[in-house]
Amino acid sequence: EEQPVGIDTALALLKQHVDNSGFNNGSRRFFAFIPSGGLYPSALADFAAAVTNRYAGVQFSAPGVTRLECELLRWLADTMGYPDSAAGDLTSGGSIAALSAIVAARQAFDIKSKDVDHTVVYITALTHHTFLKAMRIAGLAECPVRTVPIDSAYRMDVNALERSITTDVESGLVPWMIVATAGTTDIGSIDPLEAIADVAQRHGLWMHVDAAYGGGFALCAEGKTRLHGIEHSASLILDPHKGLFLPWGSGVVLVRNGETLYEAYSQPRGSYMQDLQTETLGQDRSASDRSPELTRPFRGLRLWLPLKVMGLAPF
């Protein structure tokens, strides 16, 4: 319909045809998939971000937004045990976070199209399916992918991983990336991160950890113990819209050597942005210099406001 119907009618249509359809994944009786959160401060934060409508992609246009998000990322990096050299981005979720981690790893190893067919990736049968999708988007679909066996606890078999790497080296291939999982979607199992990190270090591989599901548990003592070794990874992702109960659209990528992320994404901007080329305040680098997005929403507020209003303990 092209004619106005008024706000009451529009909201009634929304309730009947949109809100009442599909899953109510915020229900206390919803056990089918990972539930989402319904934090009231996050809803207020999204409202405030939309109303103020700050341009969050470039630091010059919204230095306060950039500062807030950089401080959030620094806190998350500290929580995961990453050094001061780390950098990251607030993404729409694990899919885009994984893509950015892959792009950073590709940059770090200077992988060109001629290298793809002999550059090997190691996963398991429980690696999230969006990782291979991200590989394809990044132009790396032809990379040989080894599915490493899992043990009786549904974790990557480190001995089998070592054998696979050795075999590939002897065959003239180049082992590149190990994808470990900290909280598989199917089982909740956590790969032996410390042992995998040791293998990655000895063989010179990039270790990526998919902690989209389990990363939030680093906030508690038992979770941090179970995630021991994640601090040695080269990159990781986590989803605050899972473990921290934020609304959908809340993902994080962290890269241990942050300059790799900047090198992967930074490039000269258009002439209309010439005055924004070199802008920076301390470590507050523009979000567009560490992600594929130039235009992006102010995502950080939906995490910052609940932390400020309620403190860390409830999480």
pLDDT tens digits for range 1-16: 789 999 999 999 999 9
Q: Which pLDDT score is estimated for 11? A: 94
List of residues 6+ apart from 202 with CB closer than 8 A: none
| pLDDT tens-place string over residues 146-162 | 999 999 999 999 999 99
Do 98 and 213 touch, CB atoms closer than 8 A? no
Q: At residue 221, what is the residue type?
A: A
Do 253 and 97 touch, CB atoms closer than 8 A? yes
Q: At residue 234, what is the residue type?
A: A
Q: Rounded mean pLDDT of 289-295?
A: 93
* CA–CA–CA angle 180, 186, 190 (5° rounding): 35
In this prediction the pTM is: 0.94
Q: Which pLDDT score is estimated for 268? A: 74
Q: Which pLDDT score is estimated for 278? A: 54
Q: 3-state SS of the chain: helix, strand, coil percent to 5?
A: 45, 15, 40
Q: Rounded mean pLDDT of 69-81?
A: 97
pLDDT of 281 over the 90 cut: no
Share of the chain above pLDDT 90, in %: 82
Higher per-residue confidence, 186 vs 254: 254
pLDDT of 233 over the 60 cut: yes
**CA–CA gap between residue 257 and residue 237 (Å, rounded):** 14
Measured in whole angstroms, how far is the alpha carbon of residue 170 from the centre of its chain? 33
Architecture of domain 81-267+277-294: 3-Layer(aba) Sandwich (3.40)
| pLDDT tens-place string over residues 242-255 | 989 899 999 999 99
Residue 33 pLDDT class (50, 70, 90 cuts): confident
